[in-house]
Amino acid sequence: MTNQKKNWAYLVNSLVTLGIMFGFSLLPAPGTITPLGMQILGIFIALIYGWSTVGTIWPSLAGILAMGFTDYATVSEAIMQAMGNDVVWQLLLIMAMLVPIENEGVANHISKFFLSLPIVKGRPWAFSAIFLFATYVLSASTSGTATILLMWAILYSILRSVGYTIADRYTSLMIFGVVYASILGFATFPFKGPALAILRSYAAASGQVMDNALYMAVVIPTTLVMLAGYLLAMRVIFRPDTEKLKNIDLQAYFDALDLHQMNRRQRVLLGVLCMSILLMFLPSIMPKTWALTAFLQALGSSGVMVLIVTVMIAVRVEGKPLLNFKQAAAQIQWGIVFLVMAALFVAGALCSEGTGVTDYFHDVLYPVLGGRSLAVFSLLGVLSGTVITNFGNNAAMGVVLMPLIHALSAGGDFNPLVPVTLVTMSVFVAVITPVASPHAALLHGNREWISGRHVYLYAVSMTLWSVFVTMLVGLPLARLVFGS
């Protein structure tokens, strides 16, 4: 598409976004939806359209501003409610914390640890498995998109050094595998990224907060089975030539990157990363009578991040603070921050009393989803999440689904946290279209190392596989964990 066509498309999509945002309320209200509900529903639909076509920042700001001209809030109230959400601050502080961890090479040393294991040497499939598992761990503990770029950079050098090109099947399988491992890892921790926003959306609608440890007890084993299945498919179904990897010299690569002993700052930053992860879910597994448990529960996830970032800014190692917030601010993914800010605020307003929206969708969808067994309800929820997130931002679509799951599961005789967990996990597997997620955009844009044909072949195959594993492994595990 030429620049002129892109500009026209941007202009048209921008006008459509604004038209929906401010004109939707003029349409006749269906069913139980009130005039207020039409105002907020129009803003929400406009946000989804704008996020999928023109970007995340200005549509989010416009949506917050538009909320100030509804009967729900004034402009100042809308700004305070949107920006004052603790999820927004938690997400912002997590991103800031990860900047020095990524910039100062801590992630490189983590990847070196895995790839230096003795089992890797001379064993191509062991190398492939460890490489993708390292990607999974890094994505879970740091940033999904940053992990993809880091592991791709390592992979490019390795592939070039042994003579692989885009024409080799192993190349395309590993390029896709890095993205698949990253999205699975990114789904594992409920206190960071889109999972945080999605689960808080359910909590806002239902008043029921997800237990971090229980969520992880379901998602980590399930996603690891998904990743193992991909590796098995590589070896048994796609069967690439791996002979070139038998004599690979990883030590030469590490030497070229000067990855020797970690320095003091890197060791401290690695400790901060491990501590932040522990503090997020320890309250769920420690005895409730302990003073430390009460303290961490009083802090909450957001308070933990405030504490960690405060310490990182205050503490100096080798004459420099662990976190220079001014420098970190330039690398924060502000688009995601503003998307979450607007999505949580508008979705919460959409489900509030006086809009009639929840009742309307309950009446429309109940004949399809209501009164179903846990297995059928979960399957339909997972399929819905998997499909719609491939046509819109996965974080936003997950936020949309949560109030509906709450409304439609209210009459069921099962624990709604089971489908909530499974649906939250499923929206991360969004790689079929470029607009599905930042991970998908990176994958579809990497035409130097993987063809479009292979992207769609692997994406569709692994999406179906992920749904299958979610129901075969995730559902029974979730029922066991949540007691449903």
Amino acid 144: pLDDT = 76
Q: Tell me the residue type at 350.
A: L
Cα(300)–Cα(290) distance, integer angstroms: 16
* Contact yes or no for 304/276 (Cβ under 8 A): yes
Amino acid 257: pLDDT = 66
Ranges of residues in the chain whose predicted pLDDT is under 50: none
pTM over the 0.85 mark: no
Amino acid 467: pLDDT = 95
* Contact yes or no for 405/416 (Cβ under 8 A): yes
Q: How many CB atoms lie within 10 A of CB 119?
A: 10
Amino acid 151: pLDDT = 82
Cα(59)–Cα(74) distance, integer angstroms: 18
Cα(343)–Cα(67) distance, integer angstroms: 12
Q: Where are the domains of the chain?
A: 1-84, 88-329
Could you write out the DSSP letters of every residue in 127-183? HHHHHHHHHHHHHHHS-HHHHHHHHHHHHHHHHHHHT--TTSHHHHHHHHHHHHHHH
Compute the mean pLDDT over every residue in the chain, rounded to the nearest whole number. 86
Amino acid 412: pLDDT = 66
Amino acid 36: pLDDT = 94
pLDDT digits (tens, 9 = 90+) for 321-337: 999 999 999 888 788 78
Amino acid 37: pLDDT = 92
